[in-house]
Structure 1
Amino acid sequence: MPQGLTHVYALVERAAANGPDHPALVDVTAGTTLTWEDLHAAAGAEAERLRAAGVTPGDRVAVVLPNGEAFGVALFGALRAGAVVVPIGPRAVARELEIILGDATPRVVVAGPGESAVAAAAAGAGAQVLPPPPSGEGAAATGPRAGSADGAREASGDGGEAIALLVYTSGTTGRPRGVRLSHRALLANRAQLASLRPSPVTPTDRVLLALPLFHVFGLAAGLLQVAWAGATVVLTERFDADAMPDLLIRQRVSAIAGVPSMYRALLDVPAEQLRAGFAGVRICTSGGAPLPPKWFAAFHDATGLDIVEGYGLSEAGPVVTSNQVGGAARPGSVGRPLPGVELCLVDAVGRPLADSRDDEDEGEEGDVADVYTDLADDTGLVAVRGPNLFSGYWPDGEGGPDAEGWFRTADVGYLDGNGDLHLVDRTSDLVIVNGFNVYPREVEQVLAELAEVAEAAVIGIPDDRTGAAVKAVVVRTPGSDLTEEQVNEHCAVRLARFKRPTTVAFVDELPRTPTGKIARRTLAEV
């Protein structure tokens, strides 16, 4: 276990001991700040509150709160009490709440006032609902101070293989599924990220997180990485591109973790304001979805900063690769595996590509490879291995790493000549036209070549003759009058016939999930 740590809460304990008066959490929306000693004390008080409500080590505690001080205290308080934290988005609909709470069966749900859907789902799951933990000085004053006898290990056990987070993700099933992340996995991934140079988070950084904390990217790669470094996290409840430059200056932000759609929205801010706002920022990271190369270039032109792109998934705690491995950001690539993480490409049954290709007949007429355009030949499913991997899905660990430690993801990619990973798509997004595979991202990249296209998303729609057809949903650049005919002409000379969109719809903006990913399931109705 990294640096002798076995329990995630020990990060707070260590930060409070090393820098008790150093700001830990700045809640911009509420206008409050907690030092690491404050946070340690408030988490101790929250742990006592949860114990009084009947929470024992191993019980689940669902946290349904927006970004802010209350989320941080609830999270670390539950961990200190030895509970398994189940983060849930505060805007989750009744169906999602019923599925997640019914599956996780938490002892307690911590939620804001007036959440009738939460209360109903909690009642159905037999869980008690508690209000958010008290704010600021009141909570801190009642909790044990840093270095007290009521330390994390004594209160919470040794951690290690015990589950710390139960993160629900729909993955390829369409139904939320609980990813069991142990203390071991989360701490291993924090150490892997911390070993990068330059480090994504240093002790002196003030890290802006507008990412939702109920998602593993914002929670683990964001908040827990800040705790690892003993740095400062600046939390906003919502992302506001227009307000961002001033916020960065006022809060002296030096690092930002975001998703591609956030950086795209920032490009609409006047260039002078954007450059001034980012003058004190040393590093910008992006994940959660592929970053279009033209957004990368436009952001660099506007701010002088490169965006460091990475790739991860809930099951890996979450970060797998980064452009920082290898020393340079490469547009279109998500980089190489972090130190301590192994990665290979496999076929549908898990065999490494080299092994599976030995069994193939070469040169057969009609081979899919003969009609591919602009993709490397060696595409396969991304498989990963490392101490940061999850312990299978809730409740019994089914679907976890195999006997040799490998986990086969649903992501399709290829490795370029430098060994950098390029993501093609997820198998769940695959469109099969007349038996041929169409990867939406390939078509989206071709559409992005048009200067009149600000953004595009591609999905499959039913077709009586071919089984499925390709539909493109396009956002025009301001002032553009791009037509469907022009899109078709562009694609006709760049894509094989079966990959070309048969339908093109134009919209003002693409629908997105709270984590910034394109909500593909709603595109068929556009």
Structure 2
Amino acid sequence: MSNAKPWIANYPSETAPSLDYPRIPLTQFLVQSAASYPDNNAIYFMGKTISYRELLELSYRFANALVKRGVQKGDRVAIMLPNTPQAVISYYGALFAGAIVVMTNPLYTERELIHQLEDSGAETIITLDLLYKRVAQVRSSTPLKRIFVTSVGDFLPLLKKWLYPLVQKKQGQTPQVTYSADVEPFLSAVKESAVTPVHVPVDPEQDIALLQYTGGTTGVAKGVMLTHANLIANAMQCQAVLYKLRRGGERILGVLPLFHVYGMTTVMNKGICIAAEIILVPKFEVKQIFEMIDKRKPTLFPGAPTMYIALINHPDLKNHDLSSIEACVSGSAPLPVEVKVKFEELTGGKLVEGYGLTEASPVTHSNPIWEKSITGSIGMPWPDTDCRILDTVTGEELPQGEVGELAVKGPQVMLGYWNRPEETAAVLKDGWLLTGDVGYMDENGYFYIVDRKKDMIIAGGFNIYPREVEEVLFEHPSIQEAAVIGVPDPYRGETVKAFIVFKDGKQASEEELEAHCRKKLAAYKIPRKYEFRTELPKTMVGKVLRRQLQEEDKARQEAQDEIKTS
């Protein structure tokens, strides 16, 4: 049954069900694009352009800087940057040097940062001057030996570069960086280094290119080991599905964060693989996105539903022409039907839903772009990706139409979790990755996700693990018990709601709880709603029943909606 792969019969004729993957390091994409399109724009950033030739040279320079400072093959290099040219240069430079990249979310608090740097063993980090203070504060608790500091102004056009410090001052951002032998300006390190090519021998199938941290049911972030071959496969699968894309002729709106594996694959690696112009946007602000679309006319816009929702509901929409956008793949959260319809009307392009997870580099499924896409479905498996639906209790394969856990297998599936053999064994069985998501397949090979086995919350495209938020709430002196669930949110997809039981005679306001969480959690993880209770529903063993809280919350919401409409 699993061998039948009914989806292949529904592939467009232009998409081969199986591809030929070159045995090369991921950096080869950049080398090839710079050879074929040296003068094409690789990056557009706030008015500044960097050609493919320049991007390759800058990456070689940074690789030489790392090697000179003792970075060896297999060493971990952390990159804690928003979408800027430096993020791309650091990424490819570290890979040229044979290092393993550790993408670090710039929103991380000190606690989250310490865990990631300690767990990965990263001794080098590239960060922004605005984030330097946070990095400096955790340094003594981590293996960090060297810090490269860069500024948004480093790669701005001359006039903007000159004005940038004044703008920072006006916004009250005057970052203090104490430079020393092991805290260096990124730009100086790059400029002083040789431009000679650096090629450290790489075994694409065994050598890790990336440690991408993801949470888990335990709430502790784990490093997903993605090899050069994994990342190459996913970029090439993406190309096979988006078969109309022209090499050297596309412009990708890069607003998805590159520190998130979805943005890294669909914007950066994919973009460089086809020699596209990558329009880097450090922060999602609707006005800025409209300006960018007007000015640069992007042809591709990978995003999350929250982004499309913000654009189509903005009052300024009528003053902008989005018709340059030919294709968008939406990921990281379910795509509402009305959003798809409205966005396609506005752009004349296609917006389809896809699916993936960090452990699969990340994409495994999407709807066909130019053929029949099925609303509510995550689409069909990508080339060379096999899928099964398994009984959540027995692990047996289920017949078509029955609901169970989705398992995937393919060249994009991770090696495992960094230094966590038991957790790896729990999700990887004979090459099959257990996704923890529950769904089914229809007779045409289209897949549907109906629920999550895990209790993960996805708000605005960010993964939030309830237990992590609960643990921070538990640290508050007035709280006896806390349980966190995701509740529907028209804008973010889901938002965080906390149920709180106070200790006898103790209280705390929502404002106090928010201030407490803000110290320990990135902004997107902080509960937006609270409900105070005298007790929480539990199992016989005393485990809080999150599912029951969700059902009660949903029933109450439906009752309120009914009162409103009656």
1:80-119 map, 5 Å: 80-114=96-130, 115-119=132-136
Work out whether 1:25 is the aligned partner of 2:43: yes
Contact kept in structure 1, 2:97 and 2:200, CA below 8 Å: yes
CA distance in 2, matches of 1:465, 1:185: 41
User: Which residue is 1:390 aligned to?
Assistant: 414
Q: Pairwise mapping of residues 150-169 of structure 1 onto structure 2 (< 5 A)?
A: 150-151=197-198, 154-169=199-214
Q: What is the aligned partner in structure 1 of residue 78 from structure 2? A: 62
**Contact persistence 1:74–1:133 (CA under 8 A):** no
Give the 5 Å matches for 1:484-523: 485-488=559-562
Q: Residues 232 and 389 from structure 1, CA distance in 2 versus in 1: closer, same or farther, beyond 3 angstroms?
A: same
Distance 1:484 1:322, change over 3 A: closer
Distance of 1:224 and 1:238 partners within structure 2: 20
- Is the 2:301–2:328 contact (alpha carbons within 8 Å) kept by the matching residues of 1? yes
Residue 403 of structure 2 aligns with an amino acid whose one-letter code is T
* Alpha carbons of structure 1 residues 308 and 206: separation in structure 2 relative to 1, 3 Å: same
Does the CA contact (< 8 Å) of 2:401 and 2:443 recur in 1? no
Structure 1 residues 44 and 156: alpha-carbon distance in aligned structure 2, compared to 1, 3 A threshold:
farther
* Preserved contact between residue 271 and residue 302 of structure 1 (Cα < 8 Å): no
Q: Quote the residue 2:477 is aligned against.
A: none
Out of 44, 50, 54, the position equivalent to 1:38 is 54
Identity of aligned residues (%): 30
Per-residue Cα deviation, 1:238-275 (whole angstroms, up to 9, x for no partner): 1111332221121121111100000010112247537x
Find the counterpart in structure 2 of residue 333 from structure 1: 377
Deviates more, 1:226-235 or 1:322-331: 322-331
Preserved contact between residue 340 and residue 352 of structure 2 (Cα < 8 Å): no
Deviation at 1:128, TM superposition (A): 2.1
From 455, 470, 495, give the equivalent of 2:550. Answer: 470
Counterpart in the other structure of 1:15? 33
SS in 1 for 2:286: coil
The answer to which structure, 1 or 2, has the higher relative contact order (CA under 8 A, 6+ apart) is: 2
- Aligned residues, how many? 442
Per the normalisation by structure 2, the TM-score is 0.71
SS of structure 2 residue aligned to 1:257: coil
> SS state of the match for residue 243, structure 1?
helix
Does the 8 Å contact 1:353/1:378 carry over to 2? Answer: no
Note the 1:279-294 alignment, pairs <5 A: 279-294=323-338
**Separation of aligned partners in 2, 1:397 and 1:465:** 31
Match of residue 139 from structure 2:
122
1:59 positional shift:
0.3
Q: In structure 1, how many angstroms separate the alpha carbons of the residues matched to 2:297 and 2:333?
A: 27
Report SS of the residue matched to 1:242. Answer: helix
User: Residue 241 of structure 2: SS of its match in structure 1?
Assistant: coil
Q: Distance in 2 between matches of 1:403 and 1:172?
A: 18
Q: Is the 8 A contact 1:391 1:397 kept in 2?
A: no
- The amino acid across from 2:133 in the alignment is S
Compute the displacement of 1:24 (Å): 0.6
Correspondent of 1:425 among 405, 426, 451 = 451
**Residue in 1 that maps onto 2:388:** 344
Which residue among 136, 148, 173 is the counterpart of 1:131?
148
1:61-109 deviation per Cα after TM superposition (whole angstroms, max 9, x unaligned): 0001111111111111100000000000111111110110110011211
Distance 1:473 1:332 in 2: 24
How many angstroms does 1:320 deviate by? 0.3
Distance 1:162 1:83 in 2: 10
- The answer for unaligned runs of 5 or more in structure 1 is 356-375, 432-439, 475-481, 493-526
The answer on whether the counterparts of 1:460 and 1:471 sit within 8 Å (CA) in structure 2 is no
Question: Which consecutive residues of structure 2, in runs of 5 or more, have no partner in the other structure?
Answer: 1-18, 158-186, 458-484, 500-534, 540-544
Partner of 2:95: 79
- How far residue 490 of structure 1 moved from its aligned partner, in angstroms, is 9.6
In 1, the alpha carbon distance for the partners of 2:126 and 2:240 equals 34
- The question of whether the paired residues in 2 share the 8 Å contact of 1:205 and 1:231 is answered with yes
Q: CA RMSD in A?
A: 3.4
| Distance change in 2, residues 1:14/1:47 (3 Å) | same
1:457–1:239 CA distance, 2 compared to 1 (3 A): closer
- Paired letter, 1:6: I
Tell me if the contact between 2:113 and 2:138 (Cα under 8 Å) persists in the aligned partners.
yes
Is 1:61–1:83's contact at 8 Å kept on the other side of the alignment?
yes
Alignment of 1:240-389 (within 5 A): 240-270=285-315, 273=318, 276-324=320-368, 327-349=371-393, 351-354=395-398, 378-389=402-413
Task: Report the Cα offset of residue 326 of structure 1.
Answer: 8.6
Tell me if the contact between 2:406 and 2:439 (Cα under 8 Å) persists in the aligned partners.
yes
Deviation at 1:426, TM superposition (A): 1.6
Distance 1:420 1:143, change over 3 A: farther
Shift of 1:168: 0.2
Q: TM-score, normalised by structure 1?
A: 0.76
What is the Cα deviation at residue 419 of structure 1? 2.0
**Equivalent residue for 1:517?**
none
